[in-house]
Amino acid sequence: MFKCGNKSSRSWSGIEGRRVPVLFTCLTLVFLALIMLLLHDGEKPGSSTGIVKQKWNSFDSFAQFNQTIEFRNGTDIIWQVPDSPKAVLFLAHGCNGRAVNFWDMSPRCPNCVGLPEERLIVLHALARKFSVLTISSAGRCWSLREERMIVKGIITWWVEKHKLENLPLVALGASSGGYFVSMLATDVKFSSIAVMIAEGVFDQIDIMKDYPPTIFVHMPKDEARKRRIDYFLRILKDEGIDAAEIKCMEFPLSPNFLSDRIPALGETTSMELFDLFRDKGFIDKNGFMRADGRALPLKAALGESKIVLPDLDLVHHIEEELNLAFAYHEMTSLQSQQIFDWFESHMRLSRL
């Protein structure tokens, strides 16, 4: 009996001895987990946390602006044809946009604006040997019915004038331009289209078997639009149309982000703006935007600061980049590589 009791006592003592380090290890792991949770507090799940590498001058060795401005059928068109073009790209702006937004100011285009995202899309296109045609809408936004035949006529005239009929024709439209391009594709035989920050008008058109392959470039933070895009993706695929999506996620600002994206903005000013955004609570401690750039009192904050912009019109450029980082509704060039890969993978001769 004694031996049995003694053996049990030794066994219990051994178990207790092993439990102490196990308990200590568990407590240590819990403590480390709490530290990691605190360190990552404020990070957004599913966000793109990598710093954007593409800069405003990334294409300097591949493409330069050399645009031409013309007036046709009551609106202005701006275009450029690179050496040995392999395709034609029609770009449709969003509401309140104009063709001038896609091109840098120059002696040939003194009224050109060169918004950061628009200009980079054009430069990427030219670097990939796409001829680029931009057309201004007649009103604030595109008219889905009235302007279809006007724009089709301009595209047909321009393509024939420059003897580009044997090249594939593609289109990219953002917001109002996205709705317009999805409608225009019933009249113009594009090789493929990109519908950006818009779900298109697929509930208003007859989707035929020859409707062009369609890629949606959207920001899932806009949940209502995401649901409609998910629905139209299924509809297009059910009709045998090649369809895909590119999701554009939010990302944190960095001190040099604005100077990397906006040609006229220096690094010092960019860092001053970053500090201003942090001091005003526009960004959280991880650099993420707390609200869309359109909702921020940016002009008032600049007026209260000592920051001097080289041009007051740059406020619009800055707002665009803040909208881009917030990733709710903004034109984006960050996914240009994927967009143009999509275009090139669906190249076929278009018949106007």
Q: In this prediction, what percent of the chain has a pLDDT beyond 70? A: 84
Q: What stretch of H or E contains 243?
A: strand 243-247
The pLDDT, as a whole number, for residue 4 is 35
The pLDDT, as a whole number, for residue 239 is 96
With a cut of 90, say whether residue 219 has pLDDT above it: yes
With a cut of 50, say whether residue 255 has pLDDT above it: yes
The pLDDT, as a whole number, for residue 53 is 72
pTM, two decimal places: 0.84
Cβ within 8 Å of residue 177, ≥6 positions away:
91, 92, 93, 94, 97, 142, 196, 198
Distance CA 317, CA 117 (A): 9
* Distances, alpha carbon 154 to alpha carbons 36, 101, 135, 160, 186, in Å: 58, 19, 9, 10, 16
The pLDDT, as a whole number, for residue 81 is 98
- Least trusted range by pLDDT, from 29-43, 178-192, 193-207: 29-43
Distance CA 37, CA 40 (A): 5
Q: Which two tokens stand for residue 64?
A: 């330069």
pLDDT tens readout for residues 87-145: 999 999 999 999 999 999 999 999 999 999 999 999 999 999 999 999 999 999 999 98
DSSP conformational letter for 258: H
Closest by CA position to 295, among listed 305, 307, 274, 281: 281
pLDDT tens readout for residues 162-196: 999 999 999 999 999 999 999 999 999 999 999 99
Region 241-268 average pLDDT: 97
The pLDDT, as a whole number, for residue 348 is 75
Cβ within 8 Å of residue 295, ≥6 positions away:
none
The pLDDT, as a whole number, for residue 288 is 98
Q: Give the position of tokens 């990397």.
A: 260
| 3-class state of residue 283 by DSSP | strand
**How far is CA 180 from its chain centroid?**
18
pLDDT tier for residue 17 given thresholds of 50, 70 and 90: very low
| 3-class state of residue 90 by DSSP | strand
pLDDT tier for residue 21 given thresholds of 50, 70 and 90: low
